[in-house]
Amino acid sequence: MINSIDSIRAQFPVLMQDSLNPKRFAFLDSTATTQKPLEVIEAMNRFYKEHYSSVKRGVYRLSEKTTQAFEKTRRDVAQFIGASSENEIVFTRGTTESINLVAWSYGRRFLKENDEILISALEHHANIVPWQLIAEERRAKIKVIPMDDDGNLLLDSLEDLIKPDVTKILALTHVSNSVGTVNPIEEIIRKARAISPSTKILIDAAQSACHLNIDVQKLDCDFLAFSGHKIYGPTGIGVLYGKSDVLESMPPWHGGGEMISQVTFEKTTYAAPPARFEAGTPPIAEVIGLGAAIEWLNQVSLSKIEAHESKITQYALNALRQIPEVQFLGNPKERGALISFTLKGIHSHDAAMILDEENIAVRSGHHCAQPVMDRFGVSATLRASFGVYTETWEIDRLITGLSRVIRLFR
């Protein structure tokens, strides 16, 4: 068990490379992507150096070793999110592909004209655009759960928005990447099930999987998606969880090797999930890296991570509130490890460039959430976001950097 945050930060090479610099690197963009601990980097390097081979296609020792490591990750992912079986875990390229898989497989099979897809006003584009595409093809309709001025969803609207046998899909973010709102998904799922038991529920856990403990069986969601690179693992690998019976009902969305049972020129029959949805040679090194990241997270403990990030977020909120020019994007009842804000009279991109001169990394822009920006009447915000390695001195550096920004634009 790792107890010291200092010892955790020391495991991230990128964060330690200029540790003697008076302007030490302050990385405050973990919502976009997390840095990688040495354990993940070394696990991927070992694969390339010691047993690089394909999976499921060879009986020789290297291939068997690689296949064992690959499938161990699937079992570890299932345990990490509380799935009942590793066969409920599909590997994808990321959260975006996972949502697209559901839209183009489940949606194409089961949506019909005038059916409805319900999303929320807090969604990332990745949980909007795939539904728009399939809705246009199937002539279905998209409905939106509204939010208030603080960035909280108006849950009283669910009774009017969810319609039995009409609302086929509810797709909802767990934690907003733009406002930071932690949605009460347990309550939402419970209400949705009471109104329309047949509605399939997808949770976008891209911003929650490495911050909060998740148990898909307790949640009773039908699908859950997240990305490896946001949980201290590599890019190019993601996870789609799906209930076994739901995955069994879905057709493949990609065709190729390994997702088949039998192929002739006249007809192809398909493998059972998850293989049905994993056509072609998979991202083997990335899967192994994901497995290492999950092992690392389990060693550190998500409960400890959540407690640390909560303290850092509150520290940052208190500090930012002392700057009169800061205007927060929303004020949610429960906030994740991120803060979006603007500086009065200063464009966010200009501010971010000046902060970069101070060796401070924050995100600026619409954060792939343009409808959220439109709701609050802004084109872009600054976003400071935190991880297990974030320390209070980085927040202090941010405050000093923002003071310089404000002085320059006075």
Of the residues 41, 142, 271, 368, only one is catalytic, namely 368
Q: Which residues face 238 on adjacent strands?
A: 92, 227
Q: Could you give the CA distance from residue 319 to residue 395 in angstroms, rounded to a whole number?
A: 8
Q: One-letter amino acid identity for 386?
A: F
Q: Which of 306, 322, 259, 228 is nearest to 34 (CA)?
A: 228
Respond yes or no: is residue 210 known to be catalytic: no
Q: Which of 305, 297, 237 is nearest to 74 (CA)?
A: 237
State the DSSP string of 20-61.
Answer: TSTT--EE-BTTT-----HHHHHHHHHHHHH----SSS--SH
Query: Cα dist. 355→250, 251, 331, 377, 379 in Å?
Result: 48, 48, 24, 24, 19
Q: One-letter amino acid identity for 314?
A: Q
Tokens 């979006």 label which residue? 340
Task: Confirm if 70 and 55 have CB atoms less than 8 A apart.
Answer: yes
- Phi, psi (5° rounding) for residue 213? -70, 130
Q: Could you give the CA distance from residue 226 to residue 206 in angstroms, rounded to a whole number?
A: 4
State the DSSP string of 219-238.
Answer: HT-SEEEEEGGGTTS-SS-E
What end-to-end distance do the CA atoms of the chain give, in Å?
49
Tokens 């509130």 label which residue? 321
Strands in 210-333 per DSSP E: 223-227, 238-242, 260-263, 268-270, 326-328
Q: Is 333 left (phi over 0), alpha (psi -120 to 50) or beta?
A: alpha
Mind telling me the catalytic residues?
A: 368
